[in-house]
């Protein structure tokens, strides 16, 4: 048996998706009877979709800093069906780029051109003009170049891409000024003075003319007057014949350095004080230069420098060491303690103030205090990180204290980089000059009495003051019909009579302590 097979036709590139492809297979053979026989079968296939994208041509341009350049391109859908093509443009220098649909195919950006925010839908083989724009920053160096990667991709098959690279060359001026920037402290705190240094160097050939370096005082700081220096030499803040000026309205320092030939370098410095900024506040600073070149004005900027503000973690305590109760003239001790728990920053210029309450008189302290009446002040200086300081204070209860008085004594702390702190010790009971107060109760121990009967009386005397009381006398005038019964008194030293036995003066023995009572009975 002899058979012949016919292979299917190979698909051609760009055959539209959905196109039917028919394959016919024919089998021919000769049977034993000598006759020829044939058999056939037909297979129909549909062409599947394939994505494809193309972008042309690569472009190049020569330009200057602070300009915007435009590159015109054409994109094509080289897939085999309608597809959406995405376009991106990426600057290798990190400069800003944008992509537009060139609606009028003019090659330049016009009012009708739309910024691309979604894929461009194109039929198979269709094209579309696009525009790629790049913003060249003012800081772009003369003589430098940048590449912009323009990439087009199929949305049906994102792996189907094409790329062209546009070149941006910054026109060389022959001379440029490079700036460097440094700060003397990576971390700082409120009240610190930081020093900024700007270095400059003329690179290339020729001369950078009329060089001016301007530095805006960073947010969170204040310029320290009289600190501008050019190559170490002091210059004034005023706009005068020297190179330095502090421009108050614009809050910047200005250094007018004149013409700087290629190969020459130098530096300028100034200082700023850190204001009351919060913890972890980042102080950022950049310097800028402006100068002339053979092809016109040019500029440059320094790298950015940063300083982070740190704050101490201060806690203040005041403790009554003892005693908790004290009489006039007795000494009382307090302890004032403050701690800086921050591991990496000091509390600057710490001052502790204690205003003594009424009835307390200063005796001594360690360390010694500055005394102004009842106000005690300790100027303690800086408190190191992770450290504790104690102030021991001794006072005396003053003679002016009357009765029992409770006093609560506090202390306050302040520092350049610390918010106001206060602390209060426990209450102190001051026992001063005693008060005198007596209560007297008299009662008859019978309800009724007839002529000639004895009527017993009881006197109760209580000391309700704060001081013991002695040498007491009680005067009692009996009713008109009554007379003292001789030798009937109990609890008294003696009795003196007057007025025919009706007027009694009773002498109370000893003293009566505060709160105590004395009882006297008589008839």
221 lies in the same domain as 194: yes
Single out the residue in 170, 191, 221 at which a domain terminates.
170
10 lies in the same domain as 73: no
181 lies in the same domain as 285: yes
User: Which residues contact residue 178 at a Cβ distance below 8 angstroms, ignoring those fewer than 6 apart?
Assistant: 200, 201, 203, 300
SS (H, E, C) 428-467: EEEECECCCCEEEEEEECCCCCCCCCCCCEEEEEEECCCC
Cβ distance 410 to 427 under 8 Å? no
Alpha carbon distance 286, 309 (integer Å)? 18
Residue 253 three-state SS = strand
Q: What is the CATH number of the domain that holds 130?
A: 2.60.40.10
pLDDT given at position 332: 96
24 lies in the same domain as 7: yes
pLDDT given at position 434: 61
144 lies in the same domain as 32: no
Alpha carbon distance 142, 146 (integer Å)? 12
21 lies in the same domain as 135: no
182 lies in the same domain as 164: no
pLDDT given at position 435: 63
Give the distance from CA 322 to its chain's centroid.
41
Single out the residue in 142, 170, 198 at which a domain terminates.
170
pLDDT given at position 500: 80
511 lies in the same domain as 411: no
Nearest Cα to Cα of residue 132 among 52, 51, 58, 65: 58
Alpha carbon distance 16, 38 (integer Å)? 34
Nearest Cα to Cα of residue 462 among 488, 444, 436: 436
Q: What is the CATH number of the domain that holds 388?
A: 2.60.40.740
SS (H, E, C) 56-82: ECCCEEEECCCEEEEEEEEEEECCCCC
User: Which residues contact residue 450 at a Cβ distance below 8 angstroms, ignoring those fewer than 6 apart?
Assistant: none
Alpha carbon distance 472, 456 (integer Å)? 21
Q: What is the CATH number of the domain that holds 499?
A: 2.60.40.290
Cβ distance 100 to 72 under 8 Å? no
355 lies in the same domain as 463: no
Alpha carbon distance 275, 220 (integer Å)? 5
- Residue 102 backbone zone (phi > 0: left; psi -120 to 50: alpha; other: beta): beta
* Greatest Cα pair distance in the chain: 185
Rounded to 5 degrees, what are φ and ψ at 360? -110, 135
What is the chain's pLDDT, residue by residue, as a tens digit (523 residues)? 333 333 333 334 578 988 888 888 888 888 888 898 888 888 888 888 999 999 999 999 999 888 999 999 999 999 999 999 999 999 999 999 999 999 999 999 999 999 999 999 999 999 999 999 999 998 888 889 999 999 999 999 999 999 999 999 998 888 889 999 999 999 999 999 999 999 999 998 899 999 999 999 999 999 999 999 999 999 999 999 999 999 999 999 999 999 999 999 999 999 999 999 999 999 999 999 999 998 888 888 999 999 999 999 999 999 999 999 999 899 999 999 999 999 999 999 999 999 999 999 999 999 999 999 999 999 999 999 999 999 999 999 998 888 788 999 999 999 999 999 999 999 999 987 666 678 889 888 887 777 778 888 899 998 877 778 888 899 888 887 778 888 889 989 889 988 888 888 999 998 988 889 999 998 7
Single out the residue in 110, 144, 170 at which a domain terminates.
170
The number of distinct structural domains making up the chain is: 5
How distant, in Å, are the alpha carbons of 88, 140, 149 from that of 95?
Answer: 14, 9, 12
Range of the domain at 493: 438-522
138 lies in the same domain as 194: no
Q: Please, which residues bridge with residue 302 across strands?
A: none
365 lies in the same domain as 419: yes
Cβ distance 484 to 497 under 8 Å? yes
Nearest Cα to Cα of residue 403 among 357, 360, 466, 361: 466
Buried b / exposed e over 47-73, threshold 16 CB at 10 Å, is bebbbbbbbeeebeeeebbebebbbbb
pLDDT given at position 143: 84
160 lies in the same domain as 191: no
Buried b / exposed e over 372-408, threshold 16 CB at 10 Å, is eeeebebebebbebeeebebebebbbeeebeeebebe
How distant, in Å, are the alpha carbons of 24, 56, 79, 282 from that of 45?
Answer: 11, 34, 19, 67
């Amino acid at each position: 048996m002899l058979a012949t097979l016919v292979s299917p036709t190979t698909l051609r590139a760009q055959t539209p998706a959905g196109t039917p492809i028919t394959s016919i297979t024919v089998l021919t053979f000769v049977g034993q009877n000598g006759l020829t026989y044939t058999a056939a079968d037909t297979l129909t296939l549909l062409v599947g979709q394939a994505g494809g994208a193309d972008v042309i041509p690569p472009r190049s341009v020569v330009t200057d800093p602070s300009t915007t350049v435009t590159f015109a391109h054409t994109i094509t859908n080289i897939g085999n069906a309608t597809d959406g093509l995405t376009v991106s443009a990426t600057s290798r220098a990190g400069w800003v780029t944008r992509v537009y649909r060139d609606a009028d195919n003019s090659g330049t950006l016009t009012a009708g051109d739309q910024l691309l925010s979604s894929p461009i839908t194109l039929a198979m083989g269709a094209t579309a003009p696009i525009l790629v724009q790049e913003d060249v920053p003012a800081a772009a160096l003369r003589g430098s170049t940048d590449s912009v990667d323009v990439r087009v991709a199929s949305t049906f098959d994102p792996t189907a891409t094409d790329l062209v690279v546009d070149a941006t060359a910054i026109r060389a001026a022959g001379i440029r000024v490079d700036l460097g920037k440094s700060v003397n402290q990576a971390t700082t705190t409120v009240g610190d003075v930081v020093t900024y240094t700007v270095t400059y160097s003329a690179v290339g050939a020729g001369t950078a003319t009329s060089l001016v370096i301007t530095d805006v005082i960073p947010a969170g700081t204040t310029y320290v007057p009289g600190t501008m220096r050019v190559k170490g030499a002091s210059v004034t803040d005023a706009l005068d014949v020297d190179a330095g000026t502090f421009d108050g309205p614009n809050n910047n320092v200005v250094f007018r350095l004149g013409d700087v030939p290629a190969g020459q370098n130098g530096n300028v410095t100034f200082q700023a004080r850190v204001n009351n900024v919060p913890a972890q506040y980042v102080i950022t600073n950049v310097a800028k230069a402006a100068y002339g070149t053979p092809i016109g004005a040019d500029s440059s900027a320094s790298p950015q420098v940063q300083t982070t503000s740190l704050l101490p973690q201060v806690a203040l305590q005041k403790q009554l060491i003892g005693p908790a109760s004290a009489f006039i003239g007795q000494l009382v001790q307090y302890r004032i303690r403050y701690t800086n728990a921050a591991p990496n920053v000091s509390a600057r210029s710490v001052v502790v103030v204690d205003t003594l309450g009424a009835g307390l008189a200063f005796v001594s302290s360690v360390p010694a205090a500055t005394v102004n009446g009842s106000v005690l002040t300790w100027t303690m200086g800086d408190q190191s990180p992770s450290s504790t300081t104690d102030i021991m204070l001794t006072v005396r209860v003053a003679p002016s204290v009357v009765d029992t008085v409770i006093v609560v004594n506090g202390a306050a702390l302040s520092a350049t980089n610390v918010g106001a702190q206060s602390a209060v010790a426990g209450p102190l009971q001051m026992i001063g000059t005693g008060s005198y107060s007596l209560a007297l109760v008299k009662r008859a121990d019978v309800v009724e009495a007839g002529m000639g009967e004895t009527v017993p009386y009881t006197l109760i005397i209580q000391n309700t003051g704060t001081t013991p009381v002695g040498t007491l006398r009680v005067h009692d005038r009996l009713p008109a019909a009554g007379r003292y019964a001789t030798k009937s008194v109990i609890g008294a030293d003696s009795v003196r009579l007057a007025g025919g036995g009706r007027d009694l003066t009773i002498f109370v023995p000893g003293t009566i302590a505060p709160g105590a009572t004395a009882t006297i009975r008589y008839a």
